[in-house]
């Protein structure tokens, strides 16, 4: 296959590992900056160009779409899909997972465990919103935040009201979530590929910090998931339509709770913690999809019969 990793930075660990894994398995692999791609939309002839060149010869793509370019990046992925190119994740699933509110609404409707979450627009609703999530301490999150940025722990009602009103005053959309005390600054990242957990790690926040993100100085260690944690991670990925993702879980007294689902999960932390070839698992999934696609083509051709 000819595989393209859609990434704006070639030097990133995740990008390099995906290229390496693809080449190790005998595939041609290129890195394409999706922010520099542009599309041609024509009846029966959709196309994508990159730096003046037609790149319609790609067999499969691995989207590594940053949060700041979700709209444009998803549009490029969608154009590849229209052209019949295999994608590690569907464009619609990427946009679902990037919208934290939409993601929580979908998981809630599916009956998947999560911290109690509130969303509002007006400052006059703040008091009731705080009550809705069980009162302080509580977590306030920017809808567009990533890597723990824009996440605040408010330990008192007064602090919560002040932070929420400040965010509203700046025109930001936020989520307000129940604080899970028993998690004690830890969470679990389960890496799901094709409906199966292929690796998991426990992340622990540094001292004095409640966010366990590795980008915020947290540490990671391999962990063996129990049945409930594994099933919750797989169900969350399935409900959002993601075939490659990282599912963040909080341990709680009422079972595992989904904190977030990441459609472009980093590989460095999970591979170093588990010593597993997670990048290879992603490539293996694309290989499986490519074989299925070729088989379907042959079957259609056989059914159509010879041309007269």
Q: Tell me whether strands 28-32 and 2-6 are parallel, antiparallel or unpaired.
A: parallel
The confidence score (pLDDT) of residue 210 equals 56
What's the predicted TM-score (pTM) here?
A: 0.88
The confidence score (pLDDT) of residue 244 equals 98
The confidence score (pLDDT) of residue 127 equals 85
pLDDT tens digits for range 253-294:
999 999 999 999 999 999 999 999 999 999 999 999 999 999
The confidence score (pLDDT) of residue 212 equals 53
Q: C-alpha 147: how far from its chain's center? A: 12
308: burial class by Cβ within 10 Å (0-12, 13-18, 19+)?
A: exposed
Q: Which domains does the chain have, with CATH numbers?
A: 2-89+281-294 (3.40.50.20), 116-179 (3.30.1490.20), 182-271 (3.30.470.20)
Residue 74 pLDDT greater than 90, yes or no:
yes
């Amino acid at each position: 296959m000819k595989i393209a990793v859609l990434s704006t930075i070639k030097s990133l660990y995740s990008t390099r590992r995906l290229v390496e894994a693809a080449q190790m398995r005998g595939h041609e692999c290129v890195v394409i900056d999706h922010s520099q791609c542009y599309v041609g939309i024509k009846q029966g002839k959709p196309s994508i160009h990159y730096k003046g060149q037609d790149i319609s010869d790609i067999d499969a793509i691995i989207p590594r779409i940053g949060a700041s370019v979700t709209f444009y990046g998803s549009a490029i992925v969608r154009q590849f899909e229209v052209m019949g190119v295999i994608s590690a994740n569907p464009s619609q699933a990427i946009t679902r997972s990037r919208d934290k509110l939409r993601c929580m609404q979908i998981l809630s409707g599916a009956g998947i465990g999560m911290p109690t979450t509130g969303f509002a627009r007006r400052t006059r609703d703040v008091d009731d919103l705080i009550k809705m999530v069980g009162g302080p301490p509580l977590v306030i999150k920017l809808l567009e935040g990533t890597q723990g940025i824009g996440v605040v722990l408010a330990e008192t009602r007064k602090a919560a009201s002040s932070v929420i009103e400040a965010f509203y005053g700046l025109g930001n959309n936020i989520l307000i979530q129940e604080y899970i005390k028993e998690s004690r600054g830890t969470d679990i990242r389960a890496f799901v590929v094709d409906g199966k957990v292929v690796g998991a790690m426990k992340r622990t926040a540094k001292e004095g910090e409640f966010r366990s993100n590795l980008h915020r100085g947290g540490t990671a260690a391999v962990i063996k998931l129990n049945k409930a944690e594994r099933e919750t991670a797989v169900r969350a990925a399935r409900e959002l339509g993601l075939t490659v993702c990282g599912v963040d879980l909080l341990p709680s007294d009422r079972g595992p709770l989904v904190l977030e689902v990441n459609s472009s999960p980093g590989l460095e932390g999970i591979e170093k913690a588990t010593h597993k070839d997670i990048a290879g698992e992603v490539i293996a999934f694309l290989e499986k999809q490519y074989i299925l696609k070729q088989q379907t083509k042959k079957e259609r051709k056989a059914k159509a019969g010879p041309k007269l």
